[in-house]
């Protein structure tokens, strides 16, 4: 400190103002005379420093003597415990005069020994947020418990940890499917408008034959739905002669296999199955023409993806699933069912299958939530499905009936009677 004169002189100038000792030492330091011992006791330094009135004075001078004053209590800093929280919340808020805004009340000081243990049985005024929460719970209790439980359950919750299920994007994916399905639908009157040598009956024969080919090749279910979609979309845009209709069918299935299957049948397999009615070159030329006409758009949502989703929402079993696909496959053969979009066909199939198994209406609020269809929206399509179910196994086109009449598909085509009571429903 002796080497820094400006610091020393400032301190001593302050002490001189108070009339304290140390003036000689200040003169010596100013003249450059060394000082032998420049250290002073801490009490002496503190005695000479200009005092500032403390925030909490410990003594008051009345002119004669100092009267000691008791040290003020400092609020105790205690952890927030259950007892402390109970004490704070049990105090009701102060009344607010009219015309004034409520102010946030500070937490009262708590000192040692003043804590009061609030018993759970004691009566006290509940804070406003507790009353508001209880009011909300009472409103929820008034709701229909079945509706609340169904809507509260996330059908994708069980697959949150499965990366292949992409459960966190499921709702967005199916919302995108609903937008895209309208782009992949065809006009229900395209056969009259576009085709002159092909009729809807010929289409029925072709699809019925392709169902049998699909079953013999043991292909995936998605392949069949994409095959029929490609055929209808191509025939809506391209006019053909009837002798090339079967060629369009086998080519569409070849493309669908390349898109969906892991093990794809070769071109020669389709040539043999069509009784060598076409050559390899004809199949490849038709394949090129088809993909160019469709602008290589093979990624379309079919009935399959919607049926799987709606069955999941309905909490179905294996029998319900097989019966739903049985009804959807029968709709593939029928040209008149093209007026319904894939999502509506899928929802109606799940609804009709549930009614067939339980002999009563089976369309819950959860199914309605995930399908965006009410049972009123499905009634027309469901009635047509019941009519198809009544006629299944009769006539010439029985490939779907034979397929689902095997043990592989649970014999659902033979063991269940149609839900005829749906035909009696009338909506006003």
Q: Is 266 left (phi over 0), alpha (psi -120 to 50) or beta?
A: beta
**Residue 309 placed within a domain:** no
- Give the integer Cα–Cα distance in Å for 18 and 71: 28
- Range of the structural domain that residue 47 is part of: 5-53
What pLDDT, on a 0 to 100 scale, did the predictor assign at position 141? 55
**Residue 15 placed within a domain:** yes
pLDDT by residue, tens only, the chain of 428 residues: 444 444 444 444 444 444 444 444 444 444 444 444 555 555 555 555 545 454 444 444 545 445 554 444 444 455 555 555 555 555 555 555 555 555 545 545 444 444 444 444 444 455 554 555 566 556 555 555 554 454 557 898 888 888 888 999 999 999 999 999 998 899 999 999 999 999 999 999 999 999 999 999 999 999 999 999 999 999 999 999 999 999 999 999 999 999 999 999 999 999 999 999 999 999 999 999 999 999 999 999 999 999 999 999 999 999 999 999 999 999 999 999 999 999 999 999 999 999 999 888 879 999 999 999 999 999 999 999 999 999 999 989 999 999 999 999 999 999 999 999 999 875 43
**Residue 163 placed within a domain:** no
**Residue 200 placed within a domain:** yes
**Residue 195 is part of a domain; what is its CATH number?**
1.10.472.10
Say how many residues make up the chain. Answer: 428
Domain count, the chain: 2
**Residue 41 placed within a domain:** yes
Question: What are the respective helix, strand and coil percentages of the chain, to the nearest 5?
Answer: 60, 0, 40
> How many whole angstroms from its chain centre is CA 385?
32
- Give the integer Cα–Cα distance in Å for 414 and 326: 11
- Give the integer Cα–Cα distance in Å for 46 and 273: 111
Question: Final residue of a domain: which of 276, 293, 310?
Answer: 293
Tokens of 303: 């009935």
- The SS3 assignment for 66 reads strand
**Residue 234 placed within a domain:** yes
What pLDDT, on a 0 to 100 scale, did the predictor assign at position 46? 52
**Residue 89 placed within a domain:** no
Question: Final residue of a domain: which of 261, 293, 325?
Answer: 293
pTM: 0.66
Question: Final residue of a domain: which of 258, 293, 328?
Answer: 293
What pLDDT, on a 0 to 100 scale, did the predictor assign at position 39? 54
Q: Phi first, then psi: what are they for 114, rounded to 5°?
A: -100, 0
The DSSP string of 256-301 is HHHHH-SSPPPHHHHHHHTTT-S-HHHHHHHHHHHHHHTTT-----
**Residue 150 placed within a domain:** no
- The SS3 assignment for 195 reads coil
What pLDDT, on a 0 to 100 scale, did the predictor assign at position 253? 97
């Amino acid at each position: 400190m002796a080497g820094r004169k400006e610091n020393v002189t400032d301190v001593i100038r302050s002490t001189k103002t108070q009339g304290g000792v140390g003036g000689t030492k200040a003169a010596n330091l100013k003249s450059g005379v060394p000082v032998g011992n420049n250290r002073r006791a801490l009490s002496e330094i503190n005695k000479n420093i200009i005092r500032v009135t403390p925030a909490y004075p410990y003594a008051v001078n009345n002119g004669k003597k100092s009267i000691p004053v008791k040290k003020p209590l400092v609020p105790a800093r205690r952890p927030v415990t259950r007892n402390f929280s109970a004490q704070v919340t049990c105090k009701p808020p102060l009344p607010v005069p009219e015309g004034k805004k409520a102010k946030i009340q500070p937490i009262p000081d708590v000192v040692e020994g003043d804590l009061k243990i609030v018993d759970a049985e004691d009566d006290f005024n509940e804070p406003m947020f507790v009353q508001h929460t209880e009011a909300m719970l009472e409103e929820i209790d008034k709701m229909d418990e079945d509706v609340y439980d169904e809507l509260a359950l996330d059908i994708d919750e069980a697959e949150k940890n499965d990366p292949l299920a992409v459960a966190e994007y499921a709702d967005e994916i199916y919302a995108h499917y609903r937008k895209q399905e309208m782009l992949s639908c065809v006009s229900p009157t395209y056969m009259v408008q576009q085709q002159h040598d092909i009729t809807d009956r010929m289409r029925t024969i072709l699809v019925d034959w392709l169902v049998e080919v699909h079953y013999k090749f043991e292909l995936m279910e998605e392949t069949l739905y994409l095959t029929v979609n490609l055929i209808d979309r191509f025939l809506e845009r391209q006019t053909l002669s009837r002798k090339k209709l079967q060629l369009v069918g086998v080519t569409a299935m070849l493309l669908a296999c390349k898109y969906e299957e892991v093990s794809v049948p070769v071109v020669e397999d389709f040539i043999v199955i069509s009784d060598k009615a076409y050559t390899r070159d004809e199949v490849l030329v038709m394949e090129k023409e088809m993909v160019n006409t469709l602008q290589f758009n093979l990624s379309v949502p079919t009935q399959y993806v919607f049926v799987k989703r709606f069955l999941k929402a309905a909490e179905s079993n294996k029998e319900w699933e097989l019966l739903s696909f049985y009804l959807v496959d029968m709709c593939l053969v029928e040209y008149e069912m093209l007026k319904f979009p894939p999502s509506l066909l899928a929802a109606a199939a799940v609804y009709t299958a549930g009614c067939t198994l339980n002999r009563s209406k089976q369309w819950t609020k959860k199914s309605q939530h995930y399908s965006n269809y009410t049972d009123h929206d499905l009634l027309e399509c469901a009635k047509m499905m019941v009519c198809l179910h009544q006629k299944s196994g009769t006539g010439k086109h029985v490939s779907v009936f034979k397929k689902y009449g095997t043990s592989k598909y649970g014999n659902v085509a033979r063991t269940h009677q149609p839900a005829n009571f749906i035909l009696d429903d009338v909506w006003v």
